């Protein structure tokens, strides 16, 4: 596939593939006679960290994933639980900003931030959200590209009269890297994937801190979700005041039990297995250790925020140092790309000329042919000009 698949690993393909979701129940009914306020649950985190599992659980408990959904594939046979429109618009914006889904550059956040601040982009998202509330008052939006545009989604949700709430999935970085290497065509190596994980998670933590109009945030360990999804999801529902989860039905709980497979964790590895550069290894480990604390009750404190600010600054320093050292490599890549482009441009006219009849080529004045060849760096001797 042309895009990077998203979310957590699905069950083993041998277990069978569920059909794509085409309709979902309207969960809030007689159990909530006073009605339910609008909420948008934004599920963030790196791809392959469990985002699909969490979104799949809450949708089966009654929250609404706007349709159509991205269809399942071999990397996630039970589905991604993400709206196709969201994936498409994020791909469009990332392409415009020249940002990769897994981008390790700290400066990439400024590139996507410019798009987040655009009024037309905010209007576009809020207008897309609005009609989906007719299906259900509590929506779930998930995509591994989401973190790049969290500020935009926060504003758009508030404009529809909804409260944005955030859930960030946490999975050991070595397992995320290993899963991406297993299921994606990774050409950039473990160091790049680990660095992009650090970049993504540190920014996601900063972008989801409490702001006016928000309804809170939670951090969910993938391990906890697989070990006891009922306890973990119930805590999430109460922390974010999601009525669909708080008042879920027994038949929906049974559906999640059929969906969850405790053996979902098909990739297990440690940081030592990745053979990362020493400083990146240490910073990745420190980031994971501090993120784990946020998933504990009472762990999301002002002191923790200061620690993450320090980790982000350390990562920026590390990246800028590596970037400065590797400028020769970057320049070499640029020169190779330029040479390849020039070669392709030079070949194209000759291919076209070969397809022209001889009498047509002969009708082109020699001076014109010489001028074209000179511009392309393909000059011939005078003997060849009359050919």
Report the pLDDT averaged over residues 83-96. Answer: 98
Report the pLDDT averaged over residues 219-224. Answer: 96
269 and 361 together in one domain:
no
Report the pLDDT averaged over residues 158-178. Answer: 96
Q: What pLDDT band is residue 318 in, cutting at 50, 70 and 90?
A: very high
* Lowest mean pLDDT segment, chosen from 15-24, 167-176, 197-206: 15-24
Q: How many domains does the chain have?
A: 2
52 and 172 together in one domain:
yes
121 and 264 together in one domain:
yes
User: Is 19's pLDDT higher than 50?
Assistant: no
168 and 268 together in one domain:
yes
Q: pLDDT tens, 234-252?
A: 999 999 999 999 999 999 9
259 and 335 together in one domain:
no
Domain encompassing residue 369: 330-384
What pLDDT is recorded for position 357? 61
Say which CATH number the domain at 239 has. Answer: 3.40.50
User: Is 43's pLDDT higher than 50?
Assistant: yes
Q: pLDDT tens, 253-301?
A: 999 999 997 666 656 789 999 999 999 999 999 999 999 999 999 999 9
Q: What pLDDT band is residue 8 in, cutting at 50, 70 and 90?
A: very low
Q: Identify whether 7 is part of a domain.
A: no
Q: What pLDDT band is residue 30 in, cutting at 50, 70 and 90?
A: very low
User: Is 349's pLDDT higher than 90?
Assistant: no
User: Is 132's pLDDT higher than 90?
Assistant: yes
What pLDDT is recorded for position 375? 57
**Residue 102: exposure state from Cβ atoms within 10 A (0-12, 13-18, ≥19):** buried
Q: What pLDDT band is residue 126 in, cutting at 50, 70 and 90?
A: very high
74 and 161 together in one domain:
yes
269 and 340 together in one domain:
no
Q: Identify whether 95 is part of a domain.
A: yes
Domain boundary among 242, 276, 310: 276
Q: Identify whether 159 is part of a domain.
A: yes
225 and 127 together in one domain:
yes
Average pLDDT of the chain? 85
What pLDDT is recorded for position 78? 82
233 and 344 together in one domain:
no
Domain boundary among 237, 259, 276: 276
Q: Identify whether 297 is part of a domain.
A: no
Q: Identify whether 316 is part of a domain.
A: no
Q: pLDDT tens, 360-381?
A: 556 666 666 666 556 555 555 4
What pLDDT is recorded for position 75? 76
User: Is 385's pLDDT higher than 80?
Assistant: no
Q: Identify whether 312 is part of a domain.
A: no
239 and 363 together in one domain:
no
361 and 272 together in one domain:
no
Q: Identify whether 39 is part of a domain.
A: yes
Q: Identify whether 66 is part of a domain.
A: yes
């Amino acid at each position: 596939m042309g895009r990077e698949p998203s979310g957590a690993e699905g069950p083993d393909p041998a277990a069978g593939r569920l059909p794509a979701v085409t309709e979902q129940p309207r969960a809030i009914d007689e159990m909530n006679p006073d009605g339910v306020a609008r909420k948008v649950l934004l599920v963030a985190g790196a791809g392959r960290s469990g985002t699909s599992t969490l979104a799949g659980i809450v949708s089966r408990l009654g929250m609404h994933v706007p349709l159509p959904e991205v269809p399942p594939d071999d990397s996630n046979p039970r589905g991604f639980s993400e709206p196709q429109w969201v994936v498409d618009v994020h791909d469009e914006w990332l392409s415009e900003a020249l940002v990769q889904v897994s981008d390790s550059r700290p400066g990439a956040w400024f590139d996507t931030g410019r798009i987040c601040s655009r009024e037309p982009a905010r209007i576009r998202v809020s207008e897309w959200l609005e009609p989906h509330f007719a299906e259900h008052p509590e929506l779930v939006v998930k995509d591994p590209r989401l973190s790049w545009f969290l500020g935009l989604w926060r504003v758009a949700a508030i404009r529809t009269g909804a409260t944005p709430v955030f859930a960030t999935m946490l999975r050991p970085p070595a397992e995320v890297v290993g899963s991406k290497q297993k299921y994606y065509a990774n050409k950039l190596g473990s160091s790049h994937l680990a660095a992009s994980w650090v970049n993504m998670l540190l920014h996601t933590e900063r972008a989801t801190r409490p702001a006016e109009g928000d309804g809170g945030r939670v951090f969910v360990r993938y391990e906890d979700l697989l070990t006891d999804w009922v306890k973990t999801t119930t805590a999430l529902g109460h922390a974010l005041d999601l009525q669909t989860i708080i008042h879920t039905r027994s038949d929906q709980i049974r559906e999640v039990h059929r969906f969850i497979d405790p053996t979902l964790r098909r990739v297990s590895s440690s940081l030592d297995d990745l053979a990362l550069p020493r400083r990146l290894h240490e910073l990745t480990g420190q980031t994971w250790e501090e993120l784990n604390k946020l998933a504990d009750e009472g762990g999301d404190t002002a002191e923790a925020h200061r620690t993450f600010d320090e980790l982000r600054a350390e990562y920026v320093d590390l990246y800028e140092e590596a970037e400065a050292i590797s400028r020769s490599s970057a320049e070499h890549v640029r020169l190779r790309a330029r040479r390849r482009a020039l070669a392709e441009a030079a070949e194209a006219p000759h291919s076209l000329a070969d397809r022209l009849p001889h009498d047509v080529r002969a009708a082109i004045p020699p001076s014109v042919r010489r001028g074209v060849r000179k511009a392309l760096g393909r000059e011939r001797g005078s003997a060849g000009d009359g050919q």
